[in-house]
Amino acid sequence: MSNELSLDIDRSPLPTRPPRPIVLRAQGRQHGSIRRVVSPSDLGELIKPFVFLDYFEFEPTPHDLFGMHPHSGIATITWLLEGGIRYEDTTGKSGRLPVGGVEWMRAGSGVWHDGSMAEGDHLRGLQLWIALPAELELAPAESQYMAPSEIPAVGPARLAFGAYEGVTSPTPSPAGMNYLSVNLKKGETWTYTPPRGHDVGWLYVHEGAVQAAGESLSAELAVFEESEGAIRVTASTDAGFVLGSARKHPHELVLGRYSVHTSREALTAGETGIAEIGALLRRAGRI
């Protein structure tokens, strides 16, 4: 009998930790071209430090997608699944990010950034926010834009940030968190055994359908039970998904309009930094 449909492309030793069950599933809410999957005020509290996730899909437009806007206290990670963007930020960087590329933006004490669609491209991707630890939430802003060739691969997975199976991403991400993008062919199985201490685990299926913990998932988020158990995924069709794991963020989330901090005092400092940069942009006629 052919075993084609049960191919396991994870050749590492089978995990000794038991797989963890799914405790919550969510499809998110559609707002025009954007599907808001996770917000800091809802599921972000459950899977922090991952506090926000948008899936977006735009048709070609000559206009800015989001306009110049600020953040503080977080890092934003934009992963382009289709199309490219032109970017600019107040750390002084600008350029074009191609399909498959990743933007890492540590907002820290305050940053403004913008993005517009590259001409003629249908744009599809994901934006994730992570809550920064207290020692970094007011650090100087820093950005990094990675072409697909700069994103390390671990089997069928590509590592946007973190360290996994002896591979480390070049992004300056805080310790204790991983974010991966995985593509599987129909019938392939991939097992993720998280690093010790990564008790938060989730995945979002953006293409096709998969089976995980005995459940079928398509165009939705699955949150796994807090543990160090393995996550095993089998593709029911050709499929793509992102997966995050981390040590649980130990602080309550203190929210501003574009910011997430660990305390009211830190939020005030971050919003002050945003306002100061905004004043400079206004004087320059940028906003």
For residue range 194-231, list pLDDT tens digits in order: 999 999 999 999 999 999 999 999 999 999 999 999 99
pLDDT at 16: 57
pLDDT at 160: 97
- CA–CA distance, 155 with 210 (Å, rounded to integer): 18
Instruction: Tokens for 125, please give them.
Output: 């991707």
Judged by phi (left if over 0) then psi (alpha if -120 to 50, else beta), residue 166 lies in: left
With beta carbons less than 8 A apart as the criterion, state whether 178 and 165 touch: no
Instruction: Give the mean pLDDT of 156-182.
Output: 96
pLDDT at 5: 36
Please check the confidence at residue 3 and state whether its pLDDT lies above 70.
no
Q: Within 13 Å of residue 243, how many CA atoms lie on the same side as its CB?
A: 25
For residue range 100-150, list pLDDT tens digits in order: 999 999 999 999 999 888 767 789 999 999 999 999 999 999 999 999 999
For residue range 7-61, list pLDDT tens digits in order: 444 444 444 577 899 999 999 999 999 999 999 999 999 999 999 999 999 987 6
Instruction: Give the mean pLDDT of 151-161.
Output: 97
Domain boundaries defined on the chain: 4-283
Q: Kindly state the greatest CA–CA separation across the chain.
A: 72
For residue range 62-87, list pLDDT tens digits in order: 666 778 999 999 999 999 999 999 99
pLDDT at 11: 44
- CA–CA distance, 87 with 96 (Å, rounded to integer): 6
Q: What are the backbone angles phi and psi of residue 121, rounded to the nearest 5°?
A: -90, 135
Could you confirm whether domain 4-283 is CATH 2.60.120.10? yes
Average pLDDT of the residues of the chain:
92
